[in-house]
Structure formats: structure tokens, C-alpha cells
A and B are shown apart, each in its own frame.
Chain A
Amino acid sequence: MDRGESPAAFGALRVKALESLLVAKGLVDPAAVDALIDTYEHKVGPRNGARVVARAWSDPGYKRRLLTDANAALAELGYGGLQGEDMVVVENTAEVHNLVVCTLCSCYPWPVLGLPPVWYKSAPYRSRAVIDPRGVLSEFGLTIDEDVEVRVWDSTAELRYLVLPERPAGTDGWNEERLASLVTRDAMIGVANIATPGPGDHA
């Protein structure tokens, strides 16, 4: 069974020793390692994707560009690059629900979602998403009507997928910032929908 990311003393010691070795041999600049980590811990994450979704919900022209030439549309908001060099955005509608997986490894659109959660990289999700997507979705508490087509996008080529979730009812007149506050990482992977906000939801 996949142990996920459980902290392993073996891993910790081994990585520490390996990094010291590589620094001593002049193969690694530890400041570069710090900068890489800082980027994904503090700068790049699913709030980027949420801004994209909120813009698409607010601006039909932007949404059209996003669905036809995702790279250019994402670049308009300043997003692109490592592990999102070639992006495809797929739209959830009343007829189609999209779900993203990488059955072979852990491909994920870093510029808009950051690094993937453990469950996305885990054997249970990767194994069943392609043979029982509705069952997988029900584990996430999401039931998709039988007459809605479920499309599973397996990131086996160098394309990274982002799901454009459906805009929930009850958000007429909301500005982009407020809309973005509703958008979750899971909805942009396709394992969740975005609920109609209750009276207490605001941003």
C-alpha cells in the first residue's frame, strides 16, 4: 500500500546526507533549493487557478479564449511556466463533468494549482479514476447524474488540465475577487462542484 507522505526517519536522514554531499561537491546551490521550496510553499498555489476561474465566469470573451487557447489566456493573468507549459482548460456544463488524473505518475498544472495533494498522487485515486470515475467522485461526496457524461482526462502527455467548474447560482453581481473566494482546488481538479453560497458566505 502506498504510504503517502508519512514522515520517514529514513527519508529525512538520507535526504539531509545527500544534500550535504551535493553541496560539498558543488553540485547543488542550497539557496536555489530554498527558492524553489519558497515558490510552492508561499507563491504559487490554487489561488492562481481561482482567479482564472473567476475571470472566466465574469468575462465571456476571456472564457472563450481560455477554452480555445489556454496558454495565451492564462498568460493574460501572468500564469504559465513550469509544469503548465502547455495547458488545456475543460469546462463543466449541465451535460459534461470533467475529472483530471495522472494514472502514470503525478502530472498536475503547477502554475495554477501549485503542487498536488497526496491523494492525487496516491494509488487509490490513480487506479480507479479511469475505471470508476463516478465511484471515485462519490468518495469525494459528489454524485453526478446518470445523464451527465463524465470525461476523465489522463495527463499522460505533456499537457496539463484545469477544470473550469460551473458558476454556482446565487452569485449574480459578484465581483471577481468574491467569486474567486468560492473556487476550491478540488473543483479545479474535478472532484468537487462549487456549492451555491449560503447567506454567511462573503469575501
Chain B
Amino acid sequence: MNGVHDMGGMHGMGAIKRDKNEPVFHARWESRAYGVTRAMGGWRLWNLDASRFQRELIAPVDFFQMSYYERWIAALVELMLKNKLVTRAEVESGRPDAGAPVRTPTFTAEKVPALISKGSSARRDIAAAPGYRVGQRVRARNINPVGHTRLPRYARGKAGTVDRDHGVFVFPDKNALRGLIGCRHRGHRLHPAKFSR
């Protein structure tokens, strides 16, 4: 989608503000927002692309009013509502609804080291049609998809050169929909392209 998250090439955002000796988290709530979001990912009901898309869906006027982790929390709440893990009333009250089932967390502290050290590669070890040759001239599509895309506006329609062949990776534009509409998709060949100004 052509949202405000797609910032490459915009003007008017001001000077780059840097903070000397910046802490990893600026407040305890930021660290909890980070950890809770990661931990909820452990239910595997949505993937990274779906999380990104949910953050992109925040209305522009709200997007710029919110800090980074406020956006994370806003998107997490929407994903949990969509997946019926929580109700709107629970989010508002901070307490489980009467009679709501109590589950047992699957993503426990013991699983953290493995998550950190392994992660989850977007690489897909499958055969895919040959892609482009390294050095081949290509042109980025000039498209305006309403869903998730990792093709930024500043690159659309631009001619470039294929820089490398990384093999087959998830195609985020489709992967973001997985779980929502049961879309199954195997992967696409990934080629970074080089664009000159």
C-alpha cells in the first residue's frame, strides 16, 4: 500500500536527531512492548510480513503521533483481535472476560535462546524458475498494490541492474496474507537490483 511507512524519497521530515549513549530501550514499557510482541509471535498465528502490514494500516494521522513501540502495540492489539485471542472489552479493561479460557503459553523462557540463535529464515529451499542474470537490465514494476509490498515507491518504474542472485525467498506481498485468506505460496527468486540516480 502507498502508506506513510514508505518513506524513501520524502521531504520535510526534519533533521536527523541523535542521542549520544542511547539506551537499548528508553523506558521499561518499551522493553515490555518489544518482548510481549515477540512472545505473542510464538503462537505462530501471523508472520513477520503480516505484522508489518498491520503496522502499515495505522492511519497516517495516527502514525506520526505514535512512537515506534506504540505502533507495535497498536498493531499487536489488532492482530490479536483478528485472531480472536482477545476481545475489545478485554483490551479496554485489562482483565479477561468472565469465563474466558485460560491457556498455557507455548513460548516459554526456555525457548528464548533457540529463537534468538536460530531465528526464522525467509529462505525457501525449493526449486524455482530461473530468475534474472546478474548484470541483466531490469525495470521495477510501476504498481500501486493496496496490500503489503516491499517495493518502495521511489524505485517503481526505475531501470536498474541485477546485482546478485540470493536464491529463493518468501515473497512478502503474498506471505502477509497467509493466515488471513489461507493463501499458500512457495517462494520467489530474490535478486537485489542496483538503481542509479
Contacts and interface: CB of A to CB of B under 8 A. Distances in A.
Interface of A: 1-8, 10-12, 14-22, 24-29, 31-37, 39-41, 44-45, 80-86, 101, 103-106, 114-115, 117-119, 121-131, 136, 139-140, 151, 153-154, 156-159
B33 interface: yes
B7 interface: yes
A37 B25 contact: yes
Contacts of A18: 36, 73, 76-77, 91, 94
Of all A-B residue pairs in the complex, the 6 with the closest CB atoms, nearest first, are A103-B8, A33-B35, A17-B94, A158-B122, A82-B119, A85-B121
Contacts of B119: 80-85
Contacts of B190: 157-159
Contact of A28 (B8, B36, B55, B96): B36
Interface of B: 5-11, 13-19, 22, 24-36, 38-40, 42-43, 52, 55, 64-70, 73, 76-77, 85-86, 90-91, 94-96, 100-105, 107-109, 111-113, 115-123, 150-152, 154-155, 166, 169-170, 172, 190, 192, 194, 197
Contact of A33 (B13, B36, B117): B36
Contacts of A20: 94-95
Nearest to A31: B109
A16 B34 contact: no
Contacts of B115: 81-82
Contacts of B26: 5-7, 118
Contact of B43 (A27, A80, A105, A158): A27
A122 B111 contact: no
Contacts of A29: 39, 105, 107-109
Nearest to B85: A27
A117 B18 contact: yes
Contacts of A151: 194
Given A81-B117, A81-B119, 14 more contacts: A5-B30, A12-B29, A18-B36, A22-B36, A32-B109, A36-B34, A36-B39, A103-B6, A104-B150, A118-B22, A123-B14, A127-B11, A156-B151, A158-B169
B141 to A, nearest CB: 14
